[in-house]
A and B are shown apart, each in its own frame.
Chain A
Amino acid sequence: MTSSIVIVILVTSFATYLSRFLGVVSSEKIKETSKWFRWFNCLAYSTLAALITRTIIFPVGVLDEASYLVRFIVVLTSILIFYLTKRNLVYPTVFSVVFLSVISSFY
């Protein structure tokens, strides 16, 4: 392993673990029935939703090479399939990867 890549991995790991560690420290003082807990629950869901939509609209990496329209069509169709299949997660997941791969090969 080259030392520079190992150092980058260690820095990335530390930056990631820091938020988790501080979260456990804060959790020691928060009860699950408190308003603080409910607030943090809302923050967790909203930041996740923000992250997911950002990944779709402003992607990093290869996903950037699929157009906005294609990404939206795939995501919306997948959510529709999720509801049509009584909230089964496997069908929309498999559909999305196959559908986007096929569309990308044509455009």
Chain B
Amino acid sequence: MINSKYFFQGFSCIKRMDSPAIALGCCFIAIGALLKNLGFSIQESIFSTLLTYALPGSLVMAESLLVGASLINIFLAVWLVNARLYPMTVSLMPLLMHESQPRWKYYLSCHFIAVSAWLIMKSNYQTVEKENRIDFWIGIGTATWSVAIIGTIIGFIASDYLNKDMMIGLAIVNPVYFGCMMVGAMKTIQVTLSVILGAILGPLFFFITPEWSILFGGFTAGTIAFFVGELNDK
């Protein structure tokens, strides 16, 4: 069903010196502590990370709960902030699809699509033949998912011992780590422009429409970068 050789090869990516395990763990420690402060039980906190597994979505959910937002508002706010997962999925799944593999693997394993696992897969997919990439991907996803769940549990338990300064410190890990990873991924003109323009336009669009700023900023920046890259290749 799942080729264990490739599964464990993917799973072991988390053990590397430059793996996102530390950053991911720190982020979910902060989430675990935040959920406890919001009144979640440990089961609810684990359940949340298990089913959602997307940091910005969890933060938006927590923020919405704090202000007493309705279910519809929570749905829309989370959907908007996590809509980035759509282009991330479309830019990853074609690299993993192979006719010899059953469809259910793709529909189940898409749950693992999050920045950390996505960036690891993007930089490692060429090392695995296409037929086995989905099992490799499931290994990466399971590893990062496990780190997130363990981080949530640690954060929940340790929340009484973490002061506000430590929580602020933990909160910066996510943007710093992924910022560095994005800078490291700037190897082609299209990706370089996408990252630079996205970083500029995302916050700029925030002044026009805060809810849609990531999508509008990302869409405009990515489209400009695509056309500039295509013209440059001709």
Q: Measuring CB to CB, which residues of chain A are less than 8 angstroms from any residue of chain B?
A: 1-2, 5-24, 26-28, 30-32, 35, 37-63, 65-66, 71, 74-75, 78-79, 82, 87-90, 92-94, 96-102, 104-105
CB distance from A75 to the nearest CB of B (A): 6
Whether B168 contacts A62 by the Cβ 8 Å rule is yes
Whether B199 contacts A27 by the Cβ 8 Å rule is no
Known: A61-B63, A104-B168. 10 other contacts (CB 8 A): A9-B44, A11-B78, A15-B78, A28-B97, A43-B91, A43-B222, A46-B221, A55-B174, A56-B179, A60-B63
Whether A46 contacts B225 by the Cβ 8 Å rule is yes
Q: Give the total number of A-B pairs whose CB atoms are below 8 A apart.
A: 329
Q: Measuring CB to CB, which residues of chain B are less than 8 angstroms from any residue of chain A?
A: 17-18, 20, 22-23, 26, 30, 34, 39-41, 43-44, 47-48, 51-54, 56-65, 71, 74-76, 78-79, 81-95, 97, 106-107, 110-111, 113, 115, 118, 164-185, 190-191, 193-203, 205-206, 210, 213-215, 217-219, 221-223, 225-226, 229-230
CB distance from B190 to the nearest CB of A (A): 5
Cα–Cα distance between A66 and B170 once the two chains are bound (Å): 12
Question: Interface on chain B toward A: helix, strand, loop, or mixed SS?
Answer: helix
Whether A100 contacts B172 by the Cβ 8 Å rule is yes
Whether A90 contacts B226 by the Cβ 8 Å rule is no
B118 / chain A contacts, CB cutoff of 8 Å: 44
21 contacts between A and B (CB under 8 A): A8-B71, A16-B85, A19-B89, A20-B89, A20-B113, A32-B94, A40-B91, A41-B91, A43-B222, A44-B92, A46-B195, A49-B198, A52-B182, A62-B164, A62-B168, A82-B180, A87-B184, A93-B22, A93-B26, A93-B177, A97-B173
Cα–Cα distance between A17 and B78 once the two chains are bound (Å): 10
Whether B94 contacts A49 by the Cβ 8 Å rule is no
Cα–Cα distance between A39 and B213 once the two chains are bound (Å): 19
CB-CB under 8 A for A63 and B206, given A1-B41, A54-B213: no
CB distance from B121 to the nearest CB of A (A): 12
